[in-house]
Amino acid sequence: MVVPSLYISLSGQMALERRLETVARNVANMETAGYRADEVKFDSLVKRPGKDSVSFSSVGKEYISTKAGSIKQTGNSLDVAVEGKGWLGIQTGNGIAYTRDGRFQIGIDGILRSIEGNPVLDSGNAPIILDPLGGAPEISKDGTISQGGSQVGVLGLFSIPDNAQLTRAGNSGVVPDRQAQPVLDFAENGFAQGYVEGSNINAISEITKLITITRAFESTNSMMQSVESIRQETIRKLGGG
């Protein structure tokens, strides 16, 4: 069982390397507003080369965690945090993406834009245009935007299906493989002006994972070296050397 042991250890190292990459990305984005952590799901692949079953670790399937992050008050009228499970819609160069990063800016053309410069959308996927000289906007829980006492637009809030697979778009944006729908019920969902949502990364947990994975990788590597030494010794004995 020396050779299968090497294969099992190798599959374990590949899984650990994949996990290490995701944890490293999470640690690097702990302070990124609206960032959603990378997670990896591993499965055991069972093979039966003989009378005994042998379990190998898969390389893992990455997914993006949708758990909410912590909210911090900024007092900035152009900062908005999403309450509930909704997402803000933004128009990127590659189509519509969704984000929880509600740090806005008003362009000289009046278009409300994300911190990365992408137009922020209303529920009909149209850009929101404000008056650049109209003063600080007021944004209510349902997304209504007012300037000088008059309504000038409505922030779109979108719901992404729970079973949707997400891919990244920019720093904090995601693109689902299933169509997002406008949120119409603001009893449990909405916006909070003057707040920003941080990443959903638990710094202590991720750093602990980083240490644990590194040690596990080193342990697996030591085991592989021991198994290889046994294999070489077996070959020498069988060869009469």
Chain-wide mean pLDDT for the chain? 84
Q: Is the pLDDT of residue 180 over 90?
A: yes
Q: Which of 60-64, 81-85, 91-95, 232-236 has the lowest mean pLDDT?
A: 232-236
Q: Is residue 14 part of a domain?
A: yes
**Same domain, yes or no: 134 and 233:** no
Same domain? 34 vs 75: no
Same domain, 79 and 192: yes
Shared domain for 135 and 192, answered yes or no, is yes
Owning domain of residue 34: 2-66+213-238
State yes or no: pLDDT of 224 exceeds 70: no
Asked if residue 220 and residue 112 are part of one domain, the reply reads no
**Is residue 136 in some structural domain?**
yes
| Over residues 197-219, mean pLDDT | 84
Q: In b/e form, how buried is each residue of 89-123, taking b as 16+ CB within 10 angstroms?
A: bbbbeeebbbbbbbbbebeeeebbbbbbebbbbbb
Res 66: pLDDT: 92
- Are residues 6 and 104 part of one domain? no
- Whether 109 and 166 map to the same domain: the answer is yes
Q: How far is CA 176 from CA 130, 181, 206, in A?
A: 28, 11, 25
The answer to whether residue 205 sits within a structural domain is no
Which of 53-67, 94-108, 135-149, 193-207 comes out lowest in average pLDDT?
Answer: 53-67
Q: Considering the entire predicted model, what is its pTM?
A: 0.78
pLDDT at 239 over 50: yes
Same domain, 94 and 173: yes
Q: Check whether residue 90 and residue 170 sit in a common domain.
A: yes
According to the model, what pLDDT value does residue 171 have? 86
For residue 15, tell me if it sits in a domain: yes
pLDDT at 2: 46
- How high is the pLDDT of residue 72? 96
Are 81 and 59 contained in the same domain? no
Q: How many domains does the chain have?
A: 2
202 in any annotated domain? no
pLDDT at 89 over 80: yes
Whether the predicted pLDDT of 56 surpasses 50: no
Q: Do 54 and 76 share a domain, yes or no?
A: no
203 occurs within a structural domain: no
**Confidence at residue 58, expressed as pLDDT on a 0 to 100 scale:** 54
Same domain, 191 and 225: no
The pLDDT > 90 percentage for the chain reads 58
- Residue 95 reports pLDDT greater than 90: yes
| 207 part of a folded domain | no
Percent of the chain at pLDDT exceeding 70 = 76
Tell me, yes or no, whether 206 lies in a domain.
no
- Which of 49-53, 116-120, 178-182 has the lowest average pLDDT? 49-53
- Supply the angle between the helices 203-238 and 2-28 in degrees, to the nearest 10: 160
Other residues' Cβ atoms within 10 Å of the Cβ of residue 15: 22
